[in-house]
Structure 1
Amino acid sequence: MKRLADIPLSVLDLAPICEDGTIADSFRNSLDLAQHVERWGYKRFWLAEHHGIPGVASAATSVLIGHVAQGTTTLRIGSGGIMLPNHPPLVIAEQFGTLETLYPGRIDLGLGRAPGSDRATAHALGRDPTTADSFPEHVHELRTLLGDSTSDHKVKAIPGTGTHVPIWLLGSSTFSAQLAAAMGLPFAFAAHFAPRQMQEALHLYRTYFQPSKDLAQPYAMVGLPVIAADTDAEAERLATSALQSVLGLIRHKPVRVQPPVDRMDGLWDASEKAAVASFFGAAIIGGPETVKQKLEETLAATQADEFILNSQFYHHTDRLRSYEIVSQL
């Protein structure tokens, strides 16, 4: 059985925009968080591509990865993920080839097939609704563009060719799990917002994994929402900021990160409360001992090779404290 002390910890950041904050504040806070978790021993710091969401500032993901990479030295910086159907594979190969050249050995490329936006924003991005059907072919094309150049490759990514940026597949269902297994790629499951198919996806990934030149054995990372504080009561109160953000998404009226409240009663009805609970089903909320116990339980259930934590707080100092607490466990 795996021990929590042996499991690498990483960070998934969305550059959250708080109700009384600015986007510039979000970028400063993301870099500050990365610098802190680097000192605390975290392995990766990933940023997620989302568009048109008032509380998320990481839309220009590749640009923000460069900003964070420049301000850190050992942390692996990457995407969790780039929504590949929004982009031609050549453009992503050039962007991440550039990043890998600037920050060698520190860049990860996590890929998703969702739009990361609503329908109107997806249309504004010029996204063809059928592009997701070509996701496997586009992943293969991207691997080829980042691999070694051969004479039969008519299109080359410059920079990009020969950089071998590590590619991960991300997912919240079984599709990407099976694709990652077939391609011999590492897989990250997004239990931080869609935990229902986690066990099935991990089982399929490990069962059907085919070794590749990139990966000899399956490697599964699990994304978890973690709200840690000095006491259980304080963590429950601070978690209401994240709950309000999820509530806004469920209502299709996303909001900036809101201040915590003492009670959610009156802010949602029974059906909304149930929907938020489902969305946040894998959440780990509590003081140090509670968080440790729940992480150990999750590790026992998933046998994850790595955890990547998403912790949304209204106050940046509370977010720092949460990641510090987890690092000490």
Structure 2
Amino acid sequence: MADIPLSALEVAVVQADTRAVDTLRDTAAFAQELERLGYGRIWYAEHHHSPAIGAFPPVVLAAHAAASTSVIRLGSGGVLAPNHAPLMLAEQFGTLAALHENRIDLGIGRGPGTFDEATARALRRGAGPTTDAEYRDDIAAILSYLVDEVALGPLPEPWLLASSTSGATLAAELGLPVALAHHIRPDNTHAALDRYRAAFTPSRWSERPRVLVCVETICAETEEEAARLAGPMDVVKAGLLKGASEIPFPTPAQAAAHTFTTQEQQALTGFRAQQATGTPETVVRRLTQLADETGADELMLTTPVYDFRDRVRSYELVMKNS
């Protein structure tokens, strides 16, 4: 796996018994640590009205991290097109790219970034969910504005986030690199990649298909410790399986005391088998397998664990053993 670039997705988890400002204070230190370890890029995800994830705009987090690092790429993974005017996104990321030359990515996604319908409507000024045609028009407008209206120098590198064949098809049609959300919908990964590669049309943005696969990765010195660190996110996922809105991100001790139903445990076990959790040997073997199966050009790791030091240690163990 040594020849596969590694990067990180930071979802800015707000842990139980902490404040959102504490999470914000960690973002620059996290970027500095991953730059030191040799990771290629960090992306920040857009979320709203969640007790477990901070509502921190990706463009702000990227700017904050870029100011305290020197070579690692920063960007969104993703900023959600339906929530923003295309010109505004082009201006924001175009400005960042001018300030931090050849270091800024613009990863664009479609979802609302929230499970709360009132929040989703507020983000869209009362409008309902975006249609396929509207989403395509938004992406095309963002790309056009970057080139024709905003260009202040080097452009941000655009990526399209996808978790289905429809998103992958749009990325192929527009000639964009694609970032597959394997950490969210792993069952869709292979079909989406097949569609993307078959339909890809070269563009000014990419001459060939380029694939990034994001995988949930939790690494520790022992299998038992990795399972303990994975416990809080398991509780959050179990809540989503019940159709509940997001819950606060629990401590490992709170997660250890949680009782899962048989159905929840089966679903969690199945999901974890498609991700990468365990010792360095287990995790690197699984990441290598996933890279081989998908033909990914890059793997992006997302590590939703409670403690900042444990999260950095997970990334350190993966990089040192790759």
In structure 1, the residue matched to 2:315 is 323
Whole-angstrom CA distance in 1 between matches of 2:141 and 2:223: 47
- Indicate conservation of the 8 Å contact 2:165/2:191, yes or no: yes
CA gap 1:58/1:69 in 2 versus in 1, 3 angstroms: farther
Is the aligned partner of 1:135 residue 2:132?
no
Q: State the distance in 2 between where 1:266 and 1:188 align.
A: 33
Deviates more, 1:111-120 or 1:262-271: 262-271
Corresponding residue for residue 299 of structure 2: 307
In structure 2, runs of 5+ residues without a counterpart are: none
Question: Partner letter of residue 41 of structure 2?
Answer: R
**Secondary structure, aligned partner of 2:217:** strand
Partner of 1:191: 182
The amino acid across from 2:39 in the alignment is Y
Residue of 10, 27, 45 corresponding to 1:30: 27
Give the conservation status (yes or no) of the 8 Å contact 2:30–2:312: yes
Q: What is the CA–CA distance in structure 1 between the aligned matches of 2:194 and 2:227, rounded to whole Å?
A: 32
The aligned counterpart of 1:100 is 97
Q: Name the residue aligned to 1:153.
A: none
Count residues with an aligned counterpart.
317
Corresponding position of 1:12 = 9
**Given that residues 44 and 58 in structure 2 are in contact (C-alpha distance below 8 angstroms), is that contact kept between their aligned partners in structure 1?**
yes
- Separation in 1, partners of 2:255, 2:101: 47
2:262 maps to which of 267, 270, 275: 270
Is the contact between residue 105 and residue 156 of structure 2 (CA under 8 Å) also seen in structure 1?
yes
Identity across matched positions, percent: 39
User: Residue 213 of structure 1 aligns to a residue in which SS?
Assistant: coil
**Residue 213 of structure 1: CA displacement?**
1.6
Pairing 1:224–2:215 present: yes
Q: What is the TM-score with the length of structure 2 in the denominator? A: 0.93
Match of 1:175 among 135, 153, 166: 166
Q: Select 1:212's aligned residue among 203, 208, 223.
A: 203
Deviates more, 1:286-295 or 1:272-281: 272-281
1:258 corresponds, among 250, 264, 285, to 250
Q: Aligned partners of 1:294 and 1:267: how far apart in 2?
A: 28
User: Match for 1:246 among 225, 237, 256?
Assistant: 237
Alignment gaps of 5+ in structure 1: 150-155
Q: CA RMSD in A?
A: 1.8
- Displacement of 1:169 in angstroms is 0.4
Query: How many Å apart are 1:97 and its aligned residue?
Result: 1.4
Separation (CA, whole Å) in 1 of partners of 2:235 and 2:197: 35
Structure 2 CA distance for aligned equivalents of residues 69 and 212 of structure 1: 28
Greater CA deviation, 84-93 or 163-172? 163-172
1:206 & 1:36 partners in 2: Cα distance? Answer: 34
**What is the CA–CA distance in structure 2 between the aligned matches of 1:140 and 1:7, rounded to whole Å?**
30
Which of 106, 111, 115 is matched with 1:114 structurally? 111
Partners of 1:100 and 1:106 within 8 A in 2: yes
Contact 1:85 1:127 in 2 (8 A): no
Contact 1:146 1:161 in 2 (8 A): no
- SS class of match (1:80): strand
**In structure 2, C-alpha distance between the alignment counterparts of 1:276 and 1:11, rounded to whole Å:** 22
What TM-score, normalized by structure 1, do the two folds share?
0.91
Which has more helix, going by share of residues? Answer: 2
Q: Is the 8 A contact 1:193 1:280 kept in 2?
A: no
